[in-house]
Structure 1
Amino acid sequence: MAGTGEKDGTGAGPVAGPAEAPERKASWRLIGPGVVVAATGVGAGDLVATLLAGSKFGYTLLWAAVIGCLVKISLAEATGRWHLATGRTLLDGWRGLGAWTTVYFAVYVVVWGFVYGATAMSSAALPLAALFPAGPSLRTWAILCGLVGLAFVWFNRYAVVEKVMMVFVGVMFVIVVYVAIRVAPGLGDSFAGLLPVLPDGSLFYTLGLIGGVGGTITMAAYGYWVNAKGWTDSGWIPMMRLDNRVAYVTTGVFVVAMLIVGAELLHSTNIALGGGDRGLLDLSGVLEDRFGPVTANLFLVGFFAASFSSLVGVWHGVGLLFADFVERTRAARAQGSGGEPPVLEVARGQRERSWPFRCYLLWLTFPPMGLLWLDRPFGLVVAYGVLGAFFMPFLAATLLWLLNSSRTPRRWRNGPLSNGVLTVAGLLFVVLCVHELYELF
C-alpha cells in the first residue's frame, strides 16, 4: 500500500490528502474483501445467537437482523473509505489520535488472541467430532484445526485466502438457506417480523442481533484486505462500496435464514437448545429427527464452514493488524519522541511475509492449545470480556473522529447519513458494552 506523506493532523493543521485518483468502474467480478470480512465475522457464536432469538421470539426480531446488517455495512464502508481516501491504515489513524489507542490495542490484541485461539479451534472441532464420532477426540480435532489454519495462512497470500473464503461462504449460504426452506416457513408471519416491536424480555436479544452478527475486530481488518486486493486509492471507493454491500446483503439473507430455522423448528415446538456452540449440535439432532441424517450432516458441514472460515479469517486479518502495529511502533521509536509518526510504505504482500505477522499466527495457535486442557481462568475470561466489550464502541467512535477531521480529504469525509448511522451504532455498542460488563461482574 502506498503511503501519502501527509501529516496525520494531530495538532499540525489541515492535511493535504493524496492526489485524487481516477474512478474505477465497480464490477461484480472483483468482489472479494467484503465476503472475507463477512465470513470471518459470522461464526458459530453468531449462528447460536440468531438461532436462540428465533427460538425464543419467533419472527418478531427479524427487523433487528436487517438493521444489524445496515450497521455493519456502514462500519465496514467507513473502514474501507479511510484506507482508500487517505492512503493510511487504520492503525496509522489510531496512532494519530494519541498514545491511549496504542496501549488499548496492544493489550487487547494479545489477550483477545490468546482466548480466541482456543475458542476458534474448539468451535471448528465440534462439527467434525459429530460428523466422525469414531474418529479423534474433540481436543485432537481442535489441535488439528489450529494447525491446518496456521499452515494455510502461513504459506498462502491474500488471493488464495479470498478464494477459499468465498467457497466457505457459498457452502454456508447454500446449506443454511436449504435448511430454512426445508422447515417450510410461514411467509406471512416472517414478513410481519419486519415491523419493529420489542416483546417482553427481548431487549438485549434485539441489541445483540443488531450489534453482534458479523461484528468483531475483523471489521477493522476490512481495510487491510481491501489493500491486499490491490485497491489502494480513492478511485477504488465505488468498487469497495459495491463489494461491502453485496457481502452484507448475503450475510443478511444468511442471518434471516437462521432466524427462520429457530422460529419454525424450535419456537413452534418449544424445543430448547444447549448453551454455546454446542447448541448447534443440538439443532443437528433436531434436524436428524425431523428430516433424516443427510440434512443433519449437511448442517454440520455448514457449521464447520462457518467456524473454520472464522478461524482462517482471524488468523489472516488480525495478523495483518498486528504486523502493522509492530511496524508502526518500531518506526515511531526509531524516529524518537518528536514530530509526527512516519507514514510507512509497505509493498503489497510484504506484510504477510513479515515476522510480526507470522509471530502472531504462532501466538494464536500454540499458547491457546493449553486452554484446551483447562477451563479458562476466571481472570483471563474477565479481561477478555472487558477488552472485547469496548472494541466495537472504540471502532465506531474512532471512525467518527477520523472521518470528520482534516485527516480525511474533504470529498471523502462523512456525510449526514454516515455520521447518523455511525453515531447510532456507537451508542448501541456502548449499551451492549455496559450490559456485557454487568454480566461479567
Structure 2
Amino acid sequence: MRNFLKNLGPGILVSAAFIGPGTVTVCTLAGVEFGYSLLWALLLSIFSCIILQEMAARLGVVSQKGLSDVIREEIKKPIFRVLAIILIFSAIVIGNAAYEAGNITGAVLGAEAIFGIQNLQIDDFKLNLWSIFIGAVAFILLFTGSYKTLEKIFIGLVLLMSISFVLTAILTKPDIVEILSGLIPTGNAAGLLTVMAIVGTTVVPYNLFLHASLVSEKWKESSYLPIARKELIVSIILGGTVSMAIIISAASSGLTNVNSAADMAVSLEPLFGKFATWFMSLGLLAAGITSSITAPLAAAYVVKGCFGWKGGMKSAKFKTVWAVVLILGVFFSSLQINPIEIIRFAQIANGILLPVIAIFLFWVVNKASVLGKQRNSKLQNVLGLLVIALSVFLGIKAILSVLQSF
C-alpha cells in the first residue's frame, strides 16, 4: 500500500482534470433534466476513459515519449505527417480554447455568486469583467510559473467539493432501484447532446497527450507499467464516483432549471444548508482557475511535440501557444452567452474531437516499432475499436442533431 501511495501522480492529475466546472455543470444538468436515466452514459465514459488512458500511459512508459512526438516520428511520408500535425494541432488548440472558455466561465459563475455580476458596457456590446480578471490571473500565474503552491490549494478545495457531493448523494438516500435502472441504456434521443457532454467531460482528449508525457517523466522503465495501470484505474474510478454522486445529488434535489452557481448549489443544501451557495461558488471558482492554468499548458505541450520544438516552458514559442489558447478562452467566455451553455458546448466539442485523437492513439499503440511486445493485444484492440466506434457514432449523431436544430 505504501509503495502504491508513493507512485500516485499522473492518474490522479488525469482524474482531477475532469473534476472541474465542466463536470459539475454537465452532471448537474444531466441529473436535473434526466434524473438517474443517464448514469449509464457516465459508466460507459468511465470505462472508455480507462481503456484510452491505459493506452496513453503504456505508450509513455514504454517509449519514454509523448503522444504527439511519437505520431510526428512514426508518420514517414512528409505530406501525411503535415496533414496529421495540422489535424492534431487544430483539434487540440480549438478544443482546448473551447474547454478553456468553459473553465473560465465556471470560475466566473463562482465569482458572480459571491461578488455579483460585473459588466462593462461599450455601446451595444457588453463585456464580462470577471472573465477578463480570471484570464489575467491565469496569465500572470502561467507567465511567472508561480502557480504550483496556489494550484495545490485549489485542488484541495476541489477535492473537498468532490467529497461533499459523495456525502450529499448518501444523505439524500436515493432510490437504489432507480439508480440501478439508470445504469441500463435507454433510447432517450432528447439526451444525446447531454450524453456527448458527459463523454466530453470524462474522456478529455488533451488528457491522452498529457498522460503519456507525465508517465514518461515519472517512470523510466517498462517494469513500472503494472503500477502505472493500477494507479490509473483507481484514480479514474474515484473520479467517476464523484461524477455519479453529482448526478445523483442533482436528481434528488428537486431542481427544474439551472442558470447559475446558486441554482447548482441547491443540490448541496442537504449537507451545507444556507451555506451551500457559498461552498458551491468557492468550489467552482477554484476548479475554474486551476483548469484555466492546466488546459493552456497541455495545449502548449501538444504543439511542442507536434513540431519537435526544443526548450521548455520558458521558450517564446511555448508561451505563445498557451497565451493564444488562454486569450481565445477569455474572449468566448466574456461574450454575453448563457454561461451554462458555454460550459455544455465545451464538453460537446470535446466529445466530437475525441474520435480524431483516439484513432491516432490506437494506430500508434499497435506499432511494434514503438511498443514492441507491449503493443495492443487482441482484447485491447477489440475494446479500443468499440470505444472508437462509440465515440464516432455519438460524434456524428451530435453533429446531425445540431444541424437539424437550425
Match of 1:433 in 2: 395
**Would the alpha carbon gap of residues 404 and 352 (structure 1) be closer, same or farther in structure 2, given more than 3 Å must change?**
same
Q: Is the 8 A contact 1:115 1:384 kept in 2?
A: yes
Q: Any unmatched runs of 5+ in structure 1?
A: 1-24, 331-345, 377-382
Q: What is the alpha-carbon distance in structure 1 between the residues aligned to residue 187 and residue 346 of structure 2? A: 31
1:165-184 matched pairs, under 5 angstroms: 166-184=155-173
Distance 1:384 1:51 in 2: 15
**2:113–2:277: 8 Å Cα contact kept in structure 1?**
no
Distance 1:115 1:49, change over 3 A: closer
How far the C-alpha of 1:147 sits from its partner, in A, is 2.2
Q: Give the equivalent residue in structure 2 for 1:102.
A: 85
Report deviation, 1:91.
0.8
* Match 1:45 to one of 4, 10, 22: 22
Distance in 2 separating the partners of 1:169 and 1:287: 14
* CA distance in 1 between partners of 2:237 and 2:346 (Å): 30
Answering whether residue 319 of structure 2 is matched by residue 358 of structure 1, we say: yes
Counterparts in 2 of 1:390 and 1:236: CA distance versus 1, 3 Å: same
Inter-partner Cα distance in structure 2 for 1:435 and 1:27: 41
**Kindly tell me: are residues 135 and 398 of structure 1, through their superposed partners in 2, closer, same or farther at Cα, counting changes over 3 Å?**
closer
Query: C-alpha distance in 2, partners of 1:206/1:144?
Result: 30
Q: Which amino acid aligns with 1:45?
A: G
Q: 1:132 aligns with which of 99, 105, 115?
A: 115
1:204 matched to 2:202: no
Letter in 1 for 2:314: R
Within 2, Cα distance between the matches of 1:94 and 1:387? 23
- State the one-letter code of the partner of 1:355: A
The one of 221, 231, 252 equivalent to 1:233 is 221
Q: Distance in 2 between matches of 1:296 and 1:79?
A: 38
- The 8 Å contact of residues 64 and 216 in structure 2, kept in 1 or not, is answered as no
Q: What is the Cα deviation at residue 405 of structure 1?
A: 1.8
TM-score (norm. length: structure 2): 0.81
Contact 2:65–2:216 (Cα < 8 Å) also in 1: no
In the aligned structure 2, how far is the partner of 1:408 from the partner of 1:252? 31
**Alignment deviations for residues 46-88 of structure 1 (CA, whole Å, 9 cap, x no partner):** 3333223222333233233222112101111111111211222
Over 3 Å counting, the alpha-carbon distance change for 1:157 and 1:410 in structure 2 is: farther
Distance 2:333 2:200 in 1: 25
Aligned to 1:68: 45
CA 1:248–1:297: 2 relative to 1, 3 Å: same
* Residues 303, 364 of structure 1: alpha-carbon distance in 2 compared, 3 angstrom cutoff: same
Seen in structure 2, the aligned counterparts of structure 1 residues 207 and 362 have a Cα distance that, compared at 3 Å, is closer
One-letter amino acid matched to 2:60? H
Deviation at 1:103, TM superposition (A): 1.4
Pair 436,48 (structure 1): closer, same or farther in 2 beyond 3 Å = same
Normalising by structure 1, we get a TM-score of: 0.75
Amino acid at match of 1:91: S
Unaligned residue ranges in structure 2 (runs of 5+): 121-126, 338-344
One-letter amino acid of the counterpart of residue 166, structure 2: V
Is 1:141 matched with 2:141? no
> Helix, strand or coil: the match of 2:204?
coil
User: Is residue 301 from structure 1 mapped to residue 308 from structure 2 by the alignment?
Assistant: no
The question of 1:257 aligning with 2:234 is answered no
The aligned counterpart of 1:333 is none
Choose the corresponding residue for 2:295, options 288, 294, 314.
Answer: 314
Is the contact made by 2:34 and 2:191 (CA closer than 8 Å) also made in structure 1?
Answer: no
Q: 1:143 to 1:81 in 2, by over 3 A?
A: same
Alpha-carbon distance in 1 for matches of 2:210, 2:103:
17
In 1, the alpha carbon distance for the partners of 2:376 and 2:147 equals: 29
SS state of the match for residue 353, structure 1? coil
Does 2:204 match 1:216?
yes
**In the aligned structure 1, how far is the partner of 2:93 from the partner of 2:195?**
27
Q: Which amino acid aligns with 2:199?
A: G
Offset of 1:401 from its aligned partner? 1.2
What amino acid does structure 2 have at the position aligned with 1:284? A
Closer/same/farther in 2, CA of residues 179 and 131 from structure 1, 3 Å limit: farther
2:256 to 272, 279, 294: 272
The match for 1:396 among 340, 355, 358 is 358
| Cα distance per residue 1:268-317 (max 9 Å; x no partner) | xxx3224xxx3544222575699632123222222233323322221222
Do the aligned partners of residues 407 and 141 (structure 1) sit closer, same or farther apart at CA in structure 2, a change above 3 Å counting? Answer: same
Q: Kindly, what percent of the aligned residue pairs are identical? A: 22
Q: Following TM superposition, by how much is the alpha carbon of 1:264 offset from its aligned partner in structure 2, in angstroms?
A: 0.9
Which one of 75, 88, 99 corresponds to residue 65 of structure 2? 88
Could you tell me how far apart the structure 2 residues matched to 1:63 and 1:73 are?
A: 16
Structure 1 counterpart of 2:372, from 394, 402, 410: 410
Following superposition, the deviation at residue 222 of structure 1 comes to: 1.3
Give the alignment's Cα RMSD to 1 decimal.
3.4
Distance in 1 separating the partners of 2:153 and 2:318? 20
What is the deviation of 1:398?
Answer: 1.7
